[in-house]
Amino acid sequence: MAPLRLRHPEGVSTIQLDLSTSTVEGLQEEIYKLSGIPHYQQEIKSGYPPRAHVIVPELPLSSLGLKAGDQVIVSRKAGFTVQSSATTTGRSDAISSGSKLVSGISPRPETVSQQPQISSKATGPDSVATDGGFLIHRVVPDDNSCLFSSVAIVFEQDIAKATHVRKIVADGIRSDMETYSEAILGCPRDQYIATILKPSTWGGAIELSVLAKHYATEIASVDVETGRIDRFEPPTDMQSGNRCILVYSGIHYDAASLSPMEDAPPEWHQTVFPIVAADAQDPILGAAKKLVDILRSKRAFTNTSTFDLKCQDCGQGLKGEKGAREHAQQTGHVRFGEY
């Protein structure tokens, strides 16, 4: 018996199947028991990027190319809706899942509503459809810790670990005095470290370079205003062949993650991706550029060379990110707000 991790609309489960003797229909039956989705309504995906399988129930399970420990993603095919009771089949063995009732037996196809489901973007984050699902704009609070919060989502799967990410940066600078010299930092190293540990301090290119090395992963920052992609790569001998995506608006960082469905919970999301190409030929980078196109159309960016800032410590007016950095170096003030 081999374990398979099953993600379905009702949650996440682990099932055990004999990959050498089971049939595809056996997998479908396990999916039905856990999710209530009838066999003919199941869309089954696996691999990276997740791809939908052509289902032939009689074939051996090995025909799907699954291996022990693989993740199988299941959703209901478009055009089908959840039945609120089992009366269409004459059986009353409905399975209760929270407040929702799912029919305990497959209704006949003609009894199922064929009304297409419409996805509305009036609320919720922006997203872009890809072969593997949807690249989702993961918005983080505008609290001066946005870079660290975004990285915490990507690598720690927990935005609350932003403080931990700051400590990783401080330790990385402290342990590499040659790369992060006073000339690079723009101030004495100890002062820079003390400042970056404060929750009110912004992060930028230096922090991203430290984090790329620590996590051995390329961090691709995609600029909303220009579509430019800035890559922060780990040293050659530490490269894992993976990258993640951050969305940069000029004064704010957000994360991006791949979800199998637009409304899937965050724990289903993939945040680190194999590098396929160095440019938009890479499916994830291509999707990221389309995502920032959507944000640009909404004017969701700030020109950092011209925007007006106010120091929230002393009230002085400042022009652009450069003015804010110079003021911070001169005064030690680190709390800024946009006029």
Count Cα atoms within 13 angstroms, Cβ side, for 289: 12
Measured between alpha carbons, how far is 51 from 60 in angstroms, rounded to an integer? 19
User: Would you call 143 a catalytic residue per the annotation?
Assistant: yes
CB atoms within 10 A of CB 39: 15
For residue 260, say if its preceding peptide bond is cis, omega within 30 degrees of 0.
no
User: Would you call 214 a catalytic residue per the annotation?
Assistant: no
Q: Which of 39, 164, 214, 333 is catalytic?
A: 333
User: Would you call 146 a catalytic residue per the annotation?
Assistant: yes
Measured between alpha carbons, how far is 58 from 49 in angstroms, rounded to an integer? 26
SS3 212: helix
Range list of β-strands (E), the chain:
2-8, 11-17, 42-46, 51-52, 71-76, 95-97, 100-102, 127-130, 133-138, 218-223, 229-232, 242-248, 253-259, 273-274, 308-311, 317-319, 336-338
User: Would you call 53 a catalytic residue per the annotation?
Assistant: no
SS3 56: coil
Q: Which of 8, 53, 137, 252 is catalytic?
A: 252
Contact indicator for 160, 152 with CB cutoff of 8 Å = yes
Count Cα atoms within 13 angstroms, Cβ side, for 43: 13
Q: Which of 18, 131, 143, 176 is catalytic?
A: 143
Q: Which of 146, 244, 254, 327 is catalytic?
A: 146
Count of positions (residues) in the chain: 339
Catalytic residues: 143, 146, 252, 333
